[in-house]
Structure 1
Amino acid sequence: MLEVVELSKHYKKTKAVDNINMYLEKGETVGLLGPNGAGKSTAISMISSLIAPTHGDVRLFNQSILKKPGELRSRLGVVPQEIALYNDLSAKENLEFFGRIHRLSGSQLKKKTEEILHQIGLEDRKKDLVKHFSGGMKRRLNIGVALLHDPELIIMDEPTVGIDPQSRNHILETVKRLNEERDMTILYTSHYMEEVEYLCNRIYIMDKGNIIASGTKDEIKKILSAENTIEIKLEKMNKALISRLREDPSVAHITFEDKSITIVVPREVNLFHKIFQYAEETDAKPLSVEIKTPSLEDVFLHLTGRALRD
């Protein structure tokens, strides 16, 4: 359905996107995962024909989006990372305005507007001005605008950035329903691992302008089949223990948060004895030490040497 072929965008000496290849089959939800600055938004802008690539092509239904953008935009919906709404119009007025851009009118426009308001959960606020909406409500309306013309493929660029948990859950459930009930094909970018794990059939991991891994969730997790992830929960965080673990040549990666330290070690290495030895030496008080099932976060750390949100 969608094929990205050797797509690149260079700005002077900076390679924002460097020769990436991707594909989406009809009815898939595919995740494009990466930290801020990985090149996701630039890639999305080229895929949706908003900016021209330095080289490469994007093909939708076997036609080049870059050569015939007008013909294909009617089959494509885009939810941009930046809110694209009129603050001095109501939710209903925004939908009606953008609906007319898609050549909807009369009873068809009225029916579609009501349907979208119900779908995004804003029926009770349809007459309120957007400037009085929370960030989450604006995000939901932003998605509604992208759905007005019944696109076959929708591209969502970090649609849950900076919103409350309730709105975030509503958006995730909306995306899930679009895929399952309407067989909509979705390209979903995020730097939240849990969102991509919940929504997506396949995943592309992007960093520094490159696709560094791709496959199903299980296939990507198998990258760490030769390693174990060990989580150490402490009574309180201990920086001396972190330093001691870093010095151990068996520890490939280490992250820490609150009262928990996570390390990655070769599967053949039994580090449990040393962990307790280091804890005693540094006066740390471990509450538990356990081997975790590898997560996408662990894989990302392994591939890039940093956590996803660093």
Structure 2
Amino acid sequence: TAQISISSMNFVMGFVTLLGMQIMLSIEETADFAREAIEWCRLFPPFVLGEALIDISVNYLTNEILGSGKDIWHWEVVGRPLQFLAMEAVVYFTILLVLESDKVGALRGALARLYVQLLEKLVDDGDASPTPIAARSYRLGNAHGGVEETKAGAADADDEIDEDVLAEEMEVATASARDFSVYLRGLSKTYAGSLAGVVRHQLGAPLRWARSAKRAPAPEVLKRAVRGVGLGVRRGEVFGLLGINGAGKTTTLSVLTNDVVRTSGAAAVCGFDVDDQGEVRKRVGYCPQIDPIFELMTARETLAFYGRIKGLDPDSVGAAVESILELLDLTLYADMIARSYSGGNKRKLSLGVALIGDPEVLFLDEPSTGMDPGARRSMWSCIEALSRRRKITIILTTHSMEECEALCTRIGIMVGGRLRCLGSSQHLKQRFLHAYEVEFRIEEAAGAPGGAFERFLAARLGPGARVVERHSPHCRVSLPGTAMPLGRIFEAIEAHQEEAGVLEYSVSQGTLEQVFMGFAKRQREERGQVAGVVYEDDDVGESE
């Protein structure tokens, strides 16, 4: 972390280097070199401070023992170190302000994009970012209404684009950023590896102009976290962003908060480009997954602290803090230090930090983590009120399907950095789930491959019945809506329950979690498979 890095540098320059210079000064062969090196070491404040302390000690002992010490303010005692420290404070603080300025930030972003483009030219991993929406052409996909990209280079099934996602991309491409609270058009983010990784890759494959076959992928060189996402979220909407680890959710939020510089595409908040951080920060509140609170500060102090950082007037901070404490039901704990809070109250305080300053857009990353069911529903009510009454736009990332269904007006599922489906919870379930899901608890012997249970499925529930998830002795089977009526399903199971080795069963409609797990099968990065999910070719997102 930054704190460890700074502490390590201070230790090296303020102790190790200083000690080494003093030893070298005492050796005749290295004394001249040490005197030259010290002049350069004085560019580092920790070294200057340590040198001053040594000079003060030496001068004190010289004065006490020999009676010939110099005045403490003499140039060779603390006069020179004080002057160096004063000049370095001004110079380094000025450099910091310049580096943190928007123009230098934009320059860093441009250089980062240029570096990525250079690596993409050097390394051909067969996985280039998607073509911008305006340059694409499409044709209708398979039976579930997908739309397949037909541009050159669209090589595999993962290039298939859902019709709802395509419609969203087209709307965003033809609209203005000011029409949306959150606006993403062709957003891509590629993390570039080190030059050493590029060299290793180049040495492990023939030169680009001399090769005869396609070079193997080089994940250590380029990591494409977000690939051509197009999305518009309007004022007052609660949008749920779902995806397993490595899908690109956190990177997308990081781009919107400008913690991460985008590689290509457009990203805007309330009509302002995310690079315009002065305007964006006034309008955004962010509740990260890790609580941004100080354990020795009270809730009241924490909210006041962040309120002043957000630019609130000192006279109005108190009223804003009291309003948030009341809204989040934290008044009773307002003057207790945060260390004593339960996990749920810490999450509430984190939400309060995001709300300070009346933001127009809220980014919530797992907001109800660690809460008991009662506190969770209380937070849901608060989030719903913020959206409905204050018309605050909310982007929610969570792994709780229940939370998504309770709060979100629209939901998007990301897989491999791309938005794979989009719509309300009910819309997604109708499009991507089979009509019925049957949960079985079966005998161990009957559940063996080719056993009585598999023969029962094929013979009695029809050829469309298939196992989609198995955690022995539990098994989940999906049935197409055209396979048989609901009554026939119960009749078939009841009539053959004993011979099939079925101990218990239940029939239900699909859930949002099953939609999510179906798309999770497509995730190639971070991990190969989702435990317990049965994988088949081309089985994600199908419906009859």
Q: Under a length normalisation based on structure 2, what TM-score does the superposition of the two structures give?
A: 0.52
**Which residue is 2:354 aligned to?**
146
Task: Tell me which of 461, 468, 474 is aligned to 1:254.
Answer: 468
Note if 1:179 corresponds to 2:390: no
Note if 1:64 corresponds to 2:245: no
**For 1:210 and 1:277, how far apart are their aligned partners in 2?**
46
Q: How does 1:13-52 map to 2 (within 5 A)?
A: 13-52=222-261
- Structure 1 residues 92, 241: CA separation in 2 closer, same or farther (over 3 Å shift)? farther
Q: Which runs of 5+ in 2 are unaligned?
A: 1-179, 192-220, 522-528, 534-544
* SS, match of residue 516 in structure 2: helix
Q: Which runs of 5+ in 1 are unaligned?
A: none
Instruction: Confirm or deny: 8 A CA contact 2:437 2:510 kept in the other structure.
Output: no
Question: Could you give the per-residue CA deviations for residues 200-235 of structure 1, whole angstroms, max 9, x where no partner exists?
Answer: 11111112322110012232122136x22222354x
**For 1:180 and 1:257, how far apart are their aligned partners in 2?**
41
Note if 1:222 corresponds to 2:447: no
Letter paired with 1:297: E
- Structure 1 residues 256, 194: CA separation in 2 closer, same or farther (over 3 Å shift)? farther
* SS, match of residue 264 in structure 1: strand
**For 1:59 and 1:30, how far apart are their aligned partners in 2?**
16
Task: Tell me which of 498, 506, 513 is aligned to 1:297.
Answer: 513
**Which residue is 2:365 aligned to?**
157
* SS, match of residue 173 in structure 1: helix
- Structure 1 residues 143, 309: CA separation in 2 closer, same or farther (over 3 Å shift)? farther
Deviation at residue 71 of structure 1 after TM alignment: 1.4
**For 1:211 and 1:308, how far apart are their aligned partners in 2?**
23
- Higher relative contact order by CA 8 Å / sep ≥ 6: 1 or 2? 1
- Structure 1 residues 167, 283: CA separation in 2 closer, same or farther (over 3 Å shift)? same
**Which residue is 2:185 aligned to?**
5
**Which residue is 2:298 aligned to?**
90
Rg larger for: 2
- Structure 1 residues 309, 144: CA separation in 2 closer, same or farther (over 3 Å shift)? farther
Letter paired with 2:386: L
Task: Tell me which of 231, 234, 246 is aligned to 2:438.
Answer: 231
Letter paired with 2:501: D
Letter paired with 2:229: I
Letter paired with 1:294: G
Task: Report which of the two has the higher share of helix.
Answer: 2
Question: Could you give the per-residue CA deviations for residues 49-107 of structure 1, whole angstroms, max 9, x where no partner exists?
Answer: 111122222122333113x1221210111111111111111111101111110122433
Number of equivalenced pairs: 304
Q: Under a length normalisation based on structure 1, what TM-score does the superposition of the two structures give?
A: 0.87
**For 2:435 and 2:446, how far apart are their aligned partners in 1?**
19
**Which residue is 1:263 aligned to?**
477
**Which residue is 2:213 aligned to?**
none
**For 1:201 and 1:177, how far apart are their aligned partners in 2?**
13
* SS, match of residue 502 in structure 2: coil
- Structure 1 residues 121, 256: CA separation in 2 closer, same or farther (over 3 Å shift)? farther
CA RMSD of aligned residues (A): 2.8
**For 1:198 and 1:27, how far apart are their aligned partners in 2?**
15
Task: Report which of the two has the higher share of strand.
Answer: 1
- Structure 1 residues 308, 114: CA separation in 2 closer, same or farther (over 3 Å shift)? farther
Letter paired with 2:430: K
Letter paired with 1:20: V
